[in-house]
Amino acid sequence: MGGTAVYRVYIVEDDAVIASQIQRHIRSWGLDAVCAEDFQHILEEFRRIQPQVVLMDISLPFFNGYHWCQEIRKESKVPVVFLSSMSDNMNIVMAMNMGGDDFIAKPFDLNVLVAKLQAILRRCYDFSVQSPALTYGGVTLEPSEASLSYGGMTLELSRNEYRILLTLMERAGQVVSREKLMERLWETDSFVDENTLTVNIGRLRKKLESIGLSGFIVTRKGMGYALKAAEQ
């Protein structure tokens, strides 16, 4: 899998805690994300960063998100998704009229946010072509969909299940330590312990069994986990 993210998301959010949470989560899904720094010169930053999607808060210092969306629209058709706690109908209509492509009300679930971003990228940039699937032993992991397919059947994966399988498939044929897997989950969850990992591995194994992949993830005692290619 190519290490560098192709798609860049520009996060225009003046709450630094929220902005960094969004940035971390987006990056954990293999996208690039850059937070706005100079709220007086958003358009200049936009030109320099050249994002494929903009996440735009409405309430900003100096000028609001509507203003910046209009400025961006004068020179670019890049999708703009508004984020705001002001989610009454008037603000949603205004956001769309100002050139917005979607509106997500705060507080929002980070997984919903990423799903919307992926949908926009698929629609605008043929996202799936740019995100190569990983294949091992007849099993295909599709990063852009967070799904796994085998023998004509497809499994939807949770964020943690996807992260575990991605890590194992990137290192197919090797043993991956529990520490390494917990590190990977730590990128998307604020708290991950041994028990969290065990529970997630257990759920994932059950899901894999449901499509005929029992024994795909094997435990190497005292070392970690590895993948075992299904019998072809």
- Residues 70-97 pLDDT 10s: 899 888 888 888 888 776 777 788 778 8
Instruction: Please identify which residue in the block is written with the tokens 């000028």.
Output: 63
**Which domain covers residue 185, as residue numbers?**
134-227
Does 143 lie in the same domain as 101? no
Give yes or no for residue 127 having a pLDDT over 70: no
**What CATH number did the domain enclosing 117 receive?**
3.40.50.2300
Q: How confident is the model at residue 197 (pLDDT cuts 50, 70, 90)?
A: confident
Instruction: Please identify which residue in the block is written with the tokens 């004068």.
Output: 74
pLDDT at 4: 35
Q: Which of 94, 127, 160 is the last residue of a domain?
A: 127
Give yes or no for residue 1 having a pLDDT over 50: no
Structure tokens at 125: 């940039």
Distance CA(3)–CA(219), nearest Å, equals 27
Q: Please name the residue ranges forming H helices in the chain.
A: 16-28, 42-49, 65-73, 89-97, 110-125, 127-130, 159-170, 178-186, 194-209
Does 123 lie in the same domain as 193? no
**What CATH number did the domain enclosing 143 receive?**
1.10.10.10
> Which of 73-82, 118-127, 144-153 has the least mean pLDDT?
118-127
pLDDT single digits (tens) 157-181: 887 788 888 889 888 888 999 888 8
Mean pLDDT calculated for residue range 138-162: 83
Distance CA(37)–CA(70), nearest Å, equals 19
pLDDT single digits (tens) 6-52: 688 999 998 899 899 899 888 888 788 899 999 999 999 999 888 88
Mean pLDDT calculated for residue range 129-150: 75
Which residues, in sequence order, are bridge partners of residue 136?
A: 139
114-146 as b/e, with b when 16 or more CB fall inside 10 Å? bebbbebbbeeeebeeebebbebbebebbbbbb
Percent over 70 (pLDDT), the chain: 88
Q: What average pLDDT is seen over the chain?
A: 82
pTM: 0.54
Please check whether residue 2 lies inside any domain of the structure: no
Listed residue (110, 121, 115, 187) closest to 146, CA to CA: 115
